[in-house]
Structure 1
Amino acid sequence: MRKAILALSALALVTASCGTKKKLAECEAKNKEIQDLLNTATVKLNTCLAEKDQLNSQIDFLKKNNSDLINNMGNMTTLTAKGAENVEKALESMKEKDLKISRLQDAITRKDSVTLALVSSMKSAVGINDPDIQVNVEKGVVFISISDKLLFKSGSYIVSENAKTVLGKVAMVIKSKPDFECMVEGHTDNVPYKSNGVLLDNWDLSVKRSTSIIRVLQELGIPSKQMIAAGRGEYIPLVENNTAENRQTNRRTRIVILPKIDQFYDMIEKEMKTLSGK
Structure 2
Amino acid sequence: MKKVFLALSIIALLTTSCGSKKKIAELESKNKEIQDLLNSATIKLNTCLTEKEGLASQMEFLKKNNSDLINNMGNMTTLSAKGAENIEKALESIKEKDLKITRMQDALTKKDSVTLALVTSLKRSVGISDPDIEINVEKGVVFISIADKLLFKSGSYVVSDRAKEILGKVAKVVNDKPDFECMVEGHTDNVPFISNGTLLDNWDLSVKRSTAIVRILTKDFGVSPRQLIAAGRGEFVPLVENNSAENRTTNRRTRIVVMPKIDQFYDMIEKEMKNKK
Specify the TM-score bucket, using the shorter chain as the normaliser: 0.5 to 0.7
Corresponding residue for residue 196 of structure 1: 196
2 CA distance for matches of 1:166 and 1:205?
21
2 CA distance for matches of 1:198 and 1:266?
43
Corresponding residue for residue 130 of structure 1: 130
Instruction: Summarize deviations over 1:13-51 as a string: whole Å, max 9, x none.
Output: xxxxxxxxxxxxxxxxxxxxxxxxxxxxxxxxxxxxxxx
State the 1:95 CA deviation. Answer: 6.3
Letter in 1 for 2:184: V
Could you say if the C-alpha distance between residues 200 and 95 of structure 1 is closer, same or farther in structure 2, counting changes exceeding 3 Å?
Answer: farther
Report the secondary structure of 2:181's partner residue: strand
Kept in 2, the 8 Å contact 1:192–1:201? The answer is: yes
Corresponding residue for residue 102 of structure 2: 102
Kept in 1, the 8 Å contact 2:107–2:272? The answer is: no
State the 1:270 CA deviation. Answer: 2.6
Q: Which runs of 5+ in 1 are unaligned?
A: 1-83
How many residues are paired up? 192
Q: Which runs of 5+ in 2 are unaligned?
A: 1-84
Corresponding residue for residue 179 of structure 2: 179
State the 1:113 CA deviation. Answer: 1.7
Question: Aligned residues: percent identity?
Answer: 75
Corresponding residue for residue 148 of structure 2: 148
Corresponding residue for residue 229 of structure 1: 230
Between Structure 1 and Structure 2, whose CA radius of gyration is higher? 1
- TM-score, scaled to structure 2: 0.62
Report the secondary structure of 1:257's partner residue: strand
Kept in 1, the 8 Å contact 2:188–2:253? The answer is: yes
Q: Which runs of structure 2 are paired with 1:22-171 in the superposition (5 Å)?
A: 99-171=99-171
Kept in 2, the 8 Å contact 1:128–1:134? The answer is: no
2 CA distance for matches of 1:149 and 1:182?
22
Could you say if the C-alpha distance between residues 156 and 101 of structure 1 is closer, same or farther in structure 2, counting changes exceeding 3 Å?
Answer: farther
State the 1:96 CA deviation. Answer: 5.6
- TM-score, scaled to structure 1: 0.62
2 CA distance for matches of 1:266 and 1:94?
28
State the 1:198 CA deviation. Answer: 3.4
Could you say if the C-alpha distance between residues 145 and 91 of structure 1 is closer, same or farther in structure 2, counting changes exceeding 3 Å?
Answer: same
Report the secondary structure of 1:181's partner residue: strand
2 CA distance for matches of 1:217 and 1:101?
42
Letter in 1 for 2:158: I
Corresponding residue for residue 24 of structure 2: none
